Amino acid sequence: MSKAEILAAIQRNKPVDVELPAPFVPGPADKQDFRESFSGMVNQIGGQVLSVENWAAIETYVHQHFRSDERIVTTIEGLKPAFENVDPTADPHDLADVSLAILPGHFGVAENAAVWLSDGQLGIRVLPFICQHLVIVLKQDSLLANMHEAYDRIGKDRQGFGVFIAGPSKTADIEQSLVIGAHGARSLLVFLLK
Amino acid sequence: MKVALFIPCYVDQFYPKAAIATLKLLQALGIEPVYPSGQTCCGQPMSNSGFEHLSTGCNKLFIENFADFDYIVSPSGSCVLHIKEHLRDDAKPETAKHIRHNTYELVEFLTDVLKVEQLRARFPYRVGLHQSCHGQRGLHLSQMSELVAPAFSKPMQLLQMVEGIELINLSRSDECCGFGGTFCVAEEAVSAKMGQDRVADHIKHDAEYITSSDMSCLMHMEGILKRRKSAVKVLHIAEILNAK
Amino acid sequence: MSKPEKDHAALSDVFTRDTDRVDWHDETLWWIRAKRDNAAHQLPEWELLREQASQIKENVLSRLDSYLLEFEVQAEKNGIILHWAKDAATHNQIVYDILQRKGLKHMVKSKSMLTEECHLNEFLEEKGVEVIDSDLGERIVQLAKEPPSHIVLPCIHKKKEEIGEIFSQHLGTPAGISDPKILTETARNHLRQVFLTRKVALTGVNFAVAETGEFVVCTNEGNADMGAHLSEVHIAAMGIEKIIPKRKHLGVFLRLLTRSATGQPITTYSSHYAKPRAGQEMHLILVDNGRSAQLGRADFRNSLKCIRCGACMNTCPVYRRSGGHSYHTAIAGPIGSILAPNLDMEKYADLPFASTLCGSCSNVCPVKIDIHNQLYKWRQVIVKAGYVDSKKVAAMKLMSFTLSNTARFVMAGKAGRMVLKYAPFAVNNSQNVWYKQREMPEPPEMSFRAWYKKHGNNE
């Protein structure tokens, strides 16, 4: 039986015990307001950041940039009146024709522009990947310095699925030419909401 | 201090000028090195090829010749690294250890032990420095480009004391030249290509001379330079630091 | 257990003949190394992170059994079905059994070098299962019927015109197209249909967390997620060494991984899978396939710290000029050369010698594997095991005999110089491998020791 064999082999062969190192403590961040560094990094990796005061501003933006016949869905409470709501019990395949998904993020990470989203915010897991365009809304004060702070923030949450999304999908597999828009969303816009 | 001169086997036989320059350079700095005449080779060619077990003869001979010195100095980064990492004799472990801890490559001997601040040398030419891998990544003669760490370069430090010298920049500051011991013939195609690329980098930046702490790298690059009938010459760093 | 038809030296000899192509391959990969350098230099704490990652992985290797058991408990609590596979054949059979039980014959697969190692695709195809690789680079080499040449950049060896040709042949694009945007868009549409119709998806695993029973899959394309979240069955294949102790350790590894691999601060998607979605089956296969054996080799066990970033390949001057296929194994380059001999020492005896031991690899490795030292040590093992050419053995014995005695050495040196001086044709010919592309050194009048004997310490 493979399990017993594998474990026996490991027990026979493993080296003398080595303790875990003392936890890594990143240096103190230069500043606490990461809007500038986060935005700069999002831009660097092919996404966009806009600061807004309220939900109305987001609605206006979406109406200006997407046609009325494009399917736009959201899981955000504040935008539910304005756009189609995602039914978490629906078949994920039904989302194949979604043009734009507007989702809330837990927080953003300044060092790499990653935004953390999990099951409750996604509605249906495939949504941020299957949509053609992705908009994520973050509270302005939910930006963190780096991944260590990110995992501190996630803490002991036992979400079924979570994902860091950093920018639009991309590939450079063809002669290292960067192409934005591989299999996931073709674009990413992050709204920083006051 | 009792200083011995350890001259790599192929430098002794094919590039004596590098050894003579090393001797004269040390003399100019007030050292009277002894050249134990029984020495042959550090054993690296066998060891790096997987035949470490055939290097015991070389180890014994090395220890016999170099046991009684305070410092052993050699104009070769790779030979010195080999001694520091691999010299052993189970019959004389303390002697072997003493030798391992007191063997120095020439450049590091000058900067770290003699703490040389000036040299009476003149070499008004455009010179490219080839950072040999064993010297750089093994002996830390200079900072490697892979690490996020402060820059420094002991060979550059010394070369900058030479009057009239013009040190060129390279596109790839520390890529391997491709010699690699028996690699140079066992993987001839890649070895030659690596050497051609190294040489091309120096030529692109208008080097008149290519220098290094390792004659093995230079021998390989010289072979390529001559094949392409280039006017660029190779010169061991000892010869430049001793140039008048 | 058998010698390959052509070893690394022979395959590289072919690869290097097209000088323009070698230059292109070399410059492309060097550029990626340069991007890695830029990214690393953005973090002043980079070297501390490497040390941290290295120590975490050393802890993992020393407690591998207990972390795997902890992971199993947590993963099963999450609803993941766990399997253990001692070797490639067992792994492949487990995948097939899952498919069979569900009556599935069409699978979509995202990047998994482990499945390359196990030759999963071939195994399944022989049994009538269609496997489609969804990573763009992997899809390209799949259509070209080749293995990937790089663990992160599968078709780095292919030019865009060649890719255009492949798409034209297999995906119906007009001939002559080579614009990466158009080709990528074609692949997007083609693979979107695959994602929407396949009921089973297989992904790799970048990291598995013992503490929480979750696993992480990192992609730029989003292909792993498209496959997994649309499937009824998600199978994840994982080498047992991919386990890490705590979730917070992901902070260290995710900061190092992509910066080392491509110079990006992080991949577009870092997906944390813990529980299957409602109605879905999630399987994870823990694969040994030689890893526990490597664990027992004191000199080589640290190769198991590898997080498969590919930085060693990008920096290796030999890999850049010989290409991944010259290593004739799933995982090429420096890390491949210290992993493969454990799997089949005779077949991969050539790989540890495909190196100048320059040490660049060890210094870009995010988990500080002492790759170049292990290459040196593998050479000793392979020679002792008898897997080197008998001619080489004879030559080395002669060299050792000559160099270990002063008189013999002096005589040999003199003889060498005499030949070079008086009978250069004896060495300057096609029998002399050095002479193919290099001139021999000029023979000096006398050796240094002869000069010293004459002049002593005086002028």
C325 with C269, same domain: the answer is no
Look at residue A76 and tell me whether its pLDDT is greater than 60: yes
Are C279 and C309 found together in one domain? Answer: no
Q: Residues B11-70: pLDDT tens digits?
A: 999 999 999 999 999 999 999 999 999 999 999 999 999 999 999 999 999 999 999 999
Which residue out of A157, A171, A186 would a mutagenesis test of the C interface target, given it has the greatest number of C Cβ atoms within 10 Å?
A171
State whether C25 and C51 are in the same domain.
Answer: no
* Plot region of C357 (φ>0 → left; ψ -120 to 50 → alpha; else → beta): left
Last residue of a domain, one of C289, C318, C345: C289
Q: What pLDDT was estimated at residue C1?
A: 55
Whether C294 is in a domain gets the answer no
The domain that contains C337 carries what CATH number? 1.10.1060
Pair B135, B123: CB distance under 8 Å? no
CB distance C297 to C106 below 8 Å: no
Domain containing C27 equals 1-42+301-388
* C92: in domain: yes
- Is residue C296 one of the residues assigned to a domain? no
Take residue C47 and report the two structure tokens written for it.
Answer: 């070297």
CATH number where C80 lies: 3.40.50.10420
Show the tokens assigned to C172.
């119906």
Q: Which amino acid type is present at position C384? A: K
Residue B169 has a CB neighbour count (10 Å cut-off) of 9
- List chain B residues with CB under 8 Å of C409: 9, 40-41
Residue C243 Cα, gap to closest chain B Cα (Å): 27
Query: Mean pLDDT throughout A160-186?
Result: 96
Report percent pLDDT > 70 for chain B.
100
Give all domains of chain B, ordered by start, each with its CATH number: 3-113 (no CATH), 126-241 (3.40.50)
Residue C424 has pLDDT above 90, yes or no: no
Closest approach of chain B CAs to the CA of C35, in angstroms?
12
- Distance (Å) from the C-alpha of residue C2 to the closest C-alpha of chain B? 20
Q: Closest by alpha carbon to A160, among C130, C132, C228, C193? A: C228
Do C58 and C150 fall into the same domain?
Answer: yes
Indicate the pLDDT class of residue C458, thresholds 50, 70 and 90. Answer: low
Tell me, yes or no, whether C349 lies in a domain.
yes
Nearest alpha carbon to residue C217 among C229, C204, C230: C204
- Claim to verify: residue C234 and residue C116 sit in the same structural domain: yes
Residues of chain C positioned with their CB less than 8 A from the CB of A20: 55-56, 59, 245
Asked if residue C371 and residue C228 are part of one domain, the reply reads no
Verify that C87 and C177 share a domain, yes or no: yes
pLDDT of A30 reads 67
Supply the pLDDT for residue B213: 96
A31 touches C59 (CB < 8 A):
no
Subunits next to A (3 or more Cβ pairs <8 Å) are C
Domain final residue, candidates C343, C366, C388: C388
Do the Cβ atoms of C295 and C301 come closer than 8 Å?
yes
- Which are the contacts of C193, defined by CB distance < 8 A and separation ≥ 6? none
A168 touches chain C (CB under 8 A): yes
Measure Cα distances from C378 to B53, B176, C9, C298, C387 in Å.
14, 21, 17, 12, 11
Does the pLDDT of residue C216 top 70, yes or no? yes
Q: Which residue has the tokens 């040489």?
A: B199
Q: How far is C227 from chain A (nearest CA, A)?
A: 9
Chain A contact for C270 (CB, 8 A cutoff): yes
pLDDT digits (tens, 9 = 90+) for C356-398: 999 999 999 999 999 999 999 999 999 999 999 999 999 999 9
List strands edge to edge, sheet with A133-139: A48-52, A187-193, A133-139, A98-104, A71-74, A84-85
For chain B, how many residues are written? 244
- Asked whether this complex has an ipTM greater than 0.90, the answer is yes
β-pairing, C269-273 vs C214-219, is antiparallel
Query: CB-based contacts of C261: which residues, under 8 Å, 6+ apart?
Result: C36, C152, C309, C310, C311
The minimal CB distance from A170 to the residues C192, C220, C288 is found for C220
Q: Residue C287 has what DSSP assignment?
A: E
For residue C133, the 8-state DSSP code is E
Stretch B167-189: mean pLDDT, rounded? 96
Overall number of domains in chain C: 3
Together in a domain, C104 and C135 = yes
Residue of C220, C233, C267 to mutate, interface with A, max A Cβ within 10 Å: C220
Domain co-membership, C323 together with C373: yes
Mutation target for C interface from B3, B25, B40: give the one with most C CBs within 10 A.
Answer: B40
> What percent of chain C lies above the pLDDT cut of 70?
99
Residue percentage of chain C with pLDDT more than 90 = 91
| Partners of A190 in beta bridges | A49, A136
pLDDT digits (tens, 9 = 90+) for B79-103: 999 999 999 999 999 999 999 999 9
- In chain A, what are the domains? 29-193 (3.40.50.10420)
Largest CA distance in chain C: 91
C145 and C239 inside one domain: yes
Q: What are phi and psi of C172, to 5 degrees?
A: 75, 15
With a threshold of 0.90, does the pTM exceed it?
A: yes
Judgement on whether residues C191 and C309 belong to the same structural domain of the protein: no
Contact C379, B46 (CB under 8 A): no
Q: Would you list the DSSP string of chain B? A: --EEE---HHHHHH-HHHHHHHHHHHHHTT---B--TT----SHHHHHTT-GGG-HHHHHHHHHHHTT-SEEEES-HHHHHHHHHH---TTSHHHHHHHHHHEEEHHHIIIIIS-------B--SEEEEP--HIIIIIT-SB--TTS-S---BHHHHHHTTSBT-EEPP-SSTT---S-TTTHHHHTHHHHHHHHHHHHHHHHHTT-SEEEES-HHHHHHHHHHHHHTT-S-EEEEHHHHHT--
In chain C, positions 344-363, which contact chain B (CB-CB < 8 Å)? 353-360, 362-363
Judgement on whether residues C424 and C383 belong to the same structural domain of the protein: no
Provide the 3-class DSSP secondary structure of residue C33.
helix
The tens digit of pLDDT for each residue in A26-58 reads 877 766 779 999 999 999 999 999 999 999 999
- Cβ C248–A23 below 8 Å, yes or no? yes
- Taking only the tens place, the pLDDT of each residue in B42-59 is 999 999 999 999 999 999
In terms of CA atoms, which chain B residue is nearest residue C443?
B14
Last residue of a domain, one of C225, C255, C289: C289
Candidates C62, C83, C252; nearest CB to A14:
C62
Query: Do C409 and B40 contact (CB within 8 A), yes or no?
Result: yes
Is position C122 within any domain? yes
Tens digits of residue pLDDT in C343-362: 999 999 999 999 999 999 99
Residues linked to residue A171 through DSSP beta bridges, in sequence order:
A179
Does C83 reside within a domain? yes
Binned at pLDDT 50, 70 and 90, residue C31 comes out as: very high
- pLDDT mean across residues, chain C: 96
